Every structure is written in C-alpha cells, then in structure tokens.
Chain A
Amino acid sequence: DTAVSQTPKYLVTQMGNDKSIKCEQNLGHDTMYWYKQDSKKFLKIMFSYNNKELIINETVPNRFSPKSPDKAHLNLHINSLELGDSAVYFCATSPGRRTGELFFGEGSRLTVL
C-alpha cells in the first residue's frame, strides 16, 4: 500500500490545456508539499499545506492552483499550460509543520507539446 501516491505518473498534453495532478497520503501526516524538478534535476518547492491550510506559496504563476479537500489529499491544478511547465512534479509529506523527514510520491512527469 503506497504511502504517498500520485496520479497520473505520466501526462502529455498540448499547450493551452488545463490539467490536474492528484496526491494522496495514508501516513496521517499534517503537512503536504508540491515540488517541481526541472530538466536539470533541480528540485524547488512550489506549495506547502498544513492541515488543509496554505503555508508556503513560492513565486509560482497563478496558473498553478493547489487544492486540499482534506488532510490526506493535495491536488495541483494547472491552467493554460505552457512549454516551460514541462517537468516532474513531486508530492511529499512530513509529520509536522516544521519540515521533518520527508516522504515523496513517485513523481508525475508532465510534458507540454
């Protein structure tokens, strides 16, 4: 039973489309994150939620909108996709509000054509 699961694992779409990536965790952790890994494998935080409350919102275009319907889910919706959005998106969780040990999902590779 996967602790942090993301869907879909692969997503290929056209520029201008709207898409969503879903993340679910069964660890009971309070904090969930979205990270973006670019083509050079560099990881950067996008968003962090603690108990459904947004606590970190890095300089991310407002085309990206996270949604946390409950503590176990953090979804990422992207509007008007651009070529530069192509990347691997990782969901992660940690037990508490201050960054503890991280548990990552397997990543969702988004390719925008």
Chain B
Amino acid sequence: KNEVEQSPQNLTAQEGEFITINCSYSVGISALHWLQQHPGGGIVSLFMLSSGKKKHGRLIATINIQEKHSSLHITASHPRDSAVYICAVSSQGAQKLVFGQGTRLTINP
C-alpha cells in the first residue's frame, strides 16, 4: 500500500459546486504539499503546510496531524479548476517527497 493515499481518484462536478479532495498518509511528516497539474502537464505548488489551515483565493487546505489526514477544498468551482491534484508528504528526517496517485478533477460548465 502506498504511503500516501488520495480519494477520490476521479471527481466530476458542476460549476459552482464545493469540492473536497482527501489525502491520508501513514508516516510521520514534516510537511504536506498540495500540487496542481493542468492538462498541459505543468505542475504548480498550491500549498505547503505542517499544521492547521491555509487559504488562497477559492482554495483551502487543512491538515490534521493526529489523524494523518489533509483535505483540499475548492469553493465556487470553475471549469478552469479542472486538473489533477496531487498530495505529497516529506517524511520526518527525510529530504524527499512521497506522492499520492493524484485526483483527476473535472468541472463541467
């Protein structure tokens, strides 16, 4: 089993819906990253967090260290949010990231 599991693997929603993508991990971490990969292939870092909650525009990321779980929320979703969202963790003491398998999000107009 992968150290980082995301759910759902695929998500299709209508424009305007509230979106939640989940990430669970099994190791102690120093930080968790949320990345976005658009159909063109480029990868952009959305958030890096080690506790609590961060917000950027319509995106919100939360993490619960005790439960080893993080969520990425998108409010008022838009077709341009369609992308693959990837969760990654840096293990405590390690200097590398371990990635989840990604969640493919499609927002229909």
Contact = CB atoms under 8 A, between A and B. Distances in A.
Interface of A: 40-45, 48, 55-56, 58, 88, 90, 92, 97-104, 106-107, 109
Interface in B48-103: 48, 84, 86, 88, 90, 95-97, 99, 101-102
Given A41-B37, A41-B84, A43-B86, A101 B99 contact: no
Nearest to A104: B43
A44 B96 CA distance: 10
B97 A99 contact: yes
B109 interface: no
A58 B99 CA distance: 14
Contacts of B35: 102, 104
20 contacts: A41-B84, A42-B99, A48-B95, A48-B96, A56-B96, A90-B43, A92-B43, A99-B30, A99-B90, A99-B95, A99-B97, A101-B33, A101-B48, A102-B45, A102-B97, A104-B42, A104-B45, A106-B41, A106-B42, A109-B41
Contacts of B30: 98-99
A104 B48 contact: no
Interface of B: 30-31, 33, 35, 37, 41-45, 48, 84, 86, 88, 90, 95-97, 99, 101-102
B42 A43 contact: no
* List of 5 A-B pairs having minimum Cβ-Cβ separation, nearest first: A104-B43, A99-B90, A43-B99, A45-B96, A101-B48
A50 B84 CA distance: 29
A44 B41 contact: no
B41 A88 contact: yes
Contacts of A45: 96-97
A64 B33 CA distance: 27
Contacts of B37: 41
B8 to A, nearest CB: 15
The CB with the most chain B CB atoms within 10 A, among A97, A98, A99, A109, is that of: A99
B101 A42 contact: yes
The CB with the most chain B CB atoms within 10 A, among A43, A101, A103, A104, is that of: A43
